[in-house]
Amino acid sequence: MNVLIIGASSGIGKETAHVFSQKGHAVICSSRDQKELEYLVSDLKIRYGNSAYAVPLDLTDRLSIKQFLDDVYKIYKKIDCIVVTAATMPGNEMKYYSEEGLINTTMTNYIGIALILNVISQHMVNNNSGIIICLSSVAGERGRQSNFIYGASKSALITYLQGLRGMLYRHNVQVTTVLPGYVDTLMSYGKIKGSLAVSPVYAAKKIYSLIDKKRNTVYIPPVWWLIMKIIKSIPETIFKRLKL
């Protein structure tokens, strides 16, 4: 398979690149940090001996996305599978009304990703096959006062993917939304107890197992399905009083 991974330089994306490469697939690794991408690609080639490519991408730069897609389709005639793990979270020191935080977060977590999927999904429709696995977050399922700029971008992505799923269903294209809870990456590092989080290797293996499963929405780890059921069932009049 020809696989494209968006957000590959660290965390879940990096481990996903490892799993796919180890299983013998060709991978294109994308993220902002070109140097780290080159390191990753060398690493994959040395360890597993399969093709791997680095194509840098800045999701906040709308105009560069077309160039990115051209570069990708120069390497692959056809993308069989795209896994999107890229995300950003406004820093703690950033107030919710920070313009920069809002635009940066929404561009990276929603608009940039949607721009890419808009194009790639067209190609998949034309080929009448393809797999889209896109990570959103459990934070996108309910707005919480502590993290709603991030949550809103993830929520937009969930809604976008729901629509896309319906659109591509009859064209034999799988669209799976992955909702991770706590994963032990730099995004959660130091903010939560390490023991509450699952490893990115676990998350990557789960993601790999979703290929051809036609699942719609998947929680990683599965216990988050239950946790979110409970959180979503709290009436808003009570929820707004909770310091979550």
Partner 1 sequence: MYTKEYREEELCGWGNYPCTHGNVFRPERIADLSEILSKERMTVLARGGGTSYGDASINADGLNIDTKRLNKMLHFDSSNGILHCQSGVTLQEIIRTFLPRGWFLSVTPGTQFGTVGGCTACDSHGKNWKDGSFSSYVKGFNLMLHDGSIIYCDEKNNSNMYYATFGGMGMTGIILDVCIELKNISSSYVEVETVRFNNLKELFDLIQESWNSYHYLFSWIDSHKEGNNMGRGILQRANHVNDGDLHYTERKRISIPFNLPGFVINRYSVETFNALFYTKASFDKNRKRLHLMDYFYPLDGIADWYRVYGRKGFLQYQVAIPNDNAFETISDLLKIIARTKLGSTVAAIKPILKSKGLLSFPINGFTLAVDFAYNEETRQLLDELDRIVTSNGGRVYLAKDARLNADNFAKMYSESLLEWETVRKEYGVTNIFNSLMFNRLRGFK
Residues at the site binding partner 1, with contacts judged by CB under 8 A: 9-11, 14, 33, 35-36, 39-40, 42-43, 46-47, 88-93, 185-187, 189-191, 194
**Least Cβ distance, residue 212 to partner 1 (angstroms):** 27
**Least Cβ distance, residue 95 to partner 1 (angstroms):** 13
Residue 97 per-residue DSSP state: T
**Least Cβ distance, residue 136 to partner 1 (angstroms):** 16
**Least Cβ distance, residue 29 to partner 1 (angstroms):** 12
**Least Cβ distance, residue 107 to partner 1 (angstroms):** 13
Helix, strand, or coil here: 184?
A: coil
88 vs 176, which CB is nearer to partner 1? 88
Using CA atoms, how far residue 23 sits from 27, 73, 193, in Å, is: 11, 22, 32
104 vs 155, which CB is nearer to partner 1? 104
For residue 41 the two structure tokens come to 């690609």
The H-assigned helical ranges of 49-176 are 64-75, 99-106, 112-127, 148-169
For residue 192 the two structure tokens come to 């939560």
88 vs 136, which CB is nearer to partner 1? 88
What φ, ψ does residue 2 adopt, rounded to 5°? -95, 120
Q: How far apart are CA 55 and CA 6, in angstroms?
A: 10
**Least Cβ distance, residue 9 to partner 1 (angstroms):** 6
Q: Which amino acid is at 2?
A: N
Beta bridge partners, 174, equal 131
11 vs 130, which CB is nearer to partner 1? 11
Q: How far apart are CA 137 and CA 202, in angstroms?
A: 16
- Token match 């023991």: residue? 195
10 vs 159, which CB is nearer to partner 1? 10
46 vs 63, which CB is nearer to partner 1? 46
